[in-house]
Amino acid sequence: MDETAKPLRIPPEMAIYAEKHEIFDLVQVNLFTISFDNNIEIPVDLWIKLIQQRLSKIDCVRRGWVLEGIPQTREEALSLQEAGVAPNHVVLLEAPDAVLIERSQGKRIDPVTGDVYHVTFIWPEDKEVVQRLERQKTVSEEQLVAQLMQHHREVHALRKTYRNCLKGIDADQPHVDVFDQVLTYILSRHCSVAPHTPRVLLFGPPGSGKSLQAKLISQKYNIVNLCCGELLEAVSADVTNMGELIKPYLESGQQVPDSMVLQILTERLSRLDCTTRGWVLHGFPRDLEQAEKLQESNFIPSRVFFLEMTDDVAIERVTLRSIDPVTGEKYHSLYKPAPSPEVQTRLQFNPKDSEAQLLRQLKEYWANASSLQDLYPEAVHINADQDPHTVFESLESRLVGRLQNDA
């Protein structure tokens, strides 16, 4: 250029060309490399700008990203947040200083792939890779101790900065175990504090403990416990048109028509306590048609559980239970026998608990179970052949967290 012809103006096309081919980015990276190779401290804002530019690429946007080596200080963490770089999960790998010093001394680098190996813990099987391994740039033990001390000074502030999404993991164990724990954490979803109303459906064969589990859930989480059979009996006892309509069915042991059951159920689910506190429903629906009608009424459960056990266990649980007509106490020949011969003599058995009646109910349940499971593919299957509190813990572990569809 002619230096006498000033001021010089760069044509607009040059700026467009530079942006298109990322010339400015290339210059910035070159400056960064020069600074890094000459051990010049790189300004935080330059670090952040480079990271921000890289994370804005389409592959990071679509596939996500893993950021390692930064932030190392609270200042860097806050600068990342100001730039809009907010990780969903933060993993802090922790190990004793002695272990870290030992690992640093045995570290080897593959110059071709950049993979990191260790002479003791991780050694490549490929002989060609072994031949080209190089030692990491030597860092004296004094320098390493100084770096660890600096890390210990900063780590508390980093914990505080990322306290809502950080998980510490013990790195002093086989790398496969560390990876499994890290992967489990990053695949998890953080619990949302947004309000949501639980709507729970419990399925299971007779004797699987649906009533007991619904009672435990209701007591602990203040959810409305709805047993369809008890609800129908309560309505029939009221002096209402619907009560008079369903009373003959209940007295004769016939099944109440689905339209009436659904009308009663939807009215109950629409009340304020159910809409504000949530509900746990059992005893309905019993088949695919009833389940579809429930969904058409816009009462869609947020959790569905199938309590599973064999017919032999159901027979043992149901046919051996009895009740004391004097005290109302319930007993079971195996699990809770009568405390005295006097109580034993007055125990009564419900005709509905006969083996013939139970087998008919089991046949009906299993005939509809597969279609109900197809309708609720996200349902959780729980082994009900366990202690009731163990079953409740399994239910609870899947009840308290929100589903991805809820978020």
Query: How confident is the model at residue 257, as a pLDDT?
Result: 92
Q: How far apart are CA 402 and CA 407, in angstroms?
A: 7
Alpha carbon distances (Å) from 352 to 207, 313, 388: 12, 17, 23
- The residue out of 136, 163, 188 marking a domain boundary is 188
257 and 358 belong to one structural domain = yes
Residue 68 has pLDDT above 70, yes or no: yes
What pLDDT, in 10s, does the model give residues 88-129? 899 999 989 888 888 887 888 888 888 888 877 788 888 888
Task: Please indicate, yes or no, whether residues 382 and 326 belong to a single structural domain of this protein.
Answer: yes
Domain housing 168: 87-188
Q: How confident is the model at residue 192 (pLDDT cuts 50, 70, 90)?
A: low
Residue 171 resides in a domain: yes
Cα 267-219-307 angle, rounded to 5 deg: 80
Q: Which strands make up the sheet holding 224-227, listed edge to edge?
A: 224-227, 279-282, 199-203, 303-308, 380-383
* 275 and 213 belong to one structural domain: yes
Contact 347, 338 (CB under 8 A): yes
Q: What are 97's two structure tokens? A: 């200083």
pLDDT per position as a tens digit, 215-274: 999 999 899 999 999 999 999 988 788 988 999 998 888 889 999 999 999 999 999 999
Instruction: State how far the Cα of 208 lies from the Cα of 348, in Å rounded to an integer.
Output: 21
Q: Which residue has the higher pLDDT, 294 or 253?
A: 294
- Check whether residue 163 and residue 117 sit in a common domain: yes
CB 245 within 8 A of CB 287: no
Structural domains in the chain (count) = 2
In angstroms and rounded to an integer, the radius of gyration of the C-alpha atoms of the chain is 33
Q: What's the confidence (pLDDT) of residue 307?
A: 96
Q: Is the peptide bond preceding residue 388 cis, with omega within 30 degrees of 0? A: no
pLDDT tens-digit map of 121-147? 788 888 888 888 888 776 778 888 888
> Contact, 342 vs 331, CB < 8 A?
no
The reply to whether 163 and 306 lie within a common domain is: no
Within this chain, do residues 235 and 361 fall inside the same structural domain, yes or no? yes
- 167 pLDDT exceeds 60? yes
pLDDT attached to residue 405: 43
Asked whether residue 67 is domain-assigned, the answer is no
SS3 364: helix
Q: Is 288 a domain residue?
A: yes
Q: pTM of whole model > 0.75?
A: no
Mean pLDDT over residues 66-77, rounded? Answer: 88
Whether residue 29 lies inside any domain: the answer is no
Between 4 and 397, name the one with better pLDDT.
Answer: 397
Instruction: Give the integer Cα–Cα distance in Å for 283 and 259.
Output: 15
Looking at the structure, do residues 389 and 289 belong to the same domain, yes or no?
Answer: yes
- Nearest-CA neighbor of 264 among 239, 242, 295, 292? 242
CA–CA dist 211, 330 (Å, integer) = 14
If 0-12 CB within 10 Å is exposed, 13-18 middle and 19+ buried, where does residue 288 land? Answer: middle
Is residue 291 assigned to a domain?
A: yes
For residues 229 and 293, membership in a common domain is answered with: yes
Among residues of the chain, what percentage have pLDDT more than 90?
34
* Within-domain flag for 213: yes
Do 390 and 327 share a structural domain? Answer: yes
The last residue of a domain, from among 188, 212, 228: 188
Share of the chain above pLDDT 70, in %: 86
More confident call, 83 vs 217:
217
User: Is 49 inside a domain boundary?
Assistant: no
Among the listed residues 276, 266, 291, the one whose alpha carbon sits nearest the alpha carbon of residue 201: 291
289 and 166 fall within a common domain: no
Find the mean pLDDT for residues 358-384: 94
Residue that is last in its domain, among 137, 169, 188? 188
Is 181 within the bounds of a domain?
yes
Average confidence (pLDDT) over 185-191 = 74
List, in sequence order, the alpha helices (H) in 67-164.
74-82, 97-105, 127-132, 141-161
Question: Is the domain of 180 the same as that of 203?
Answer: no
Mean pLDDT of the chain: 85
Cβ atoms of residues 262 and 297 within 8 Å? yes
Residues 6+ apart with CB under 8 A from 110: 116, 117, 124, 129, 132, 133, 134
Residues 94 and 217 in one domain: no
Q: Rounded to an integer, what is the distance from CA 159 to the centroid of its chain?
A: 23
Residue 165: which CATH number?
3.40.50.300
Q: What's the CA gap between 254 and 295, in Å, rounded?
A: 25
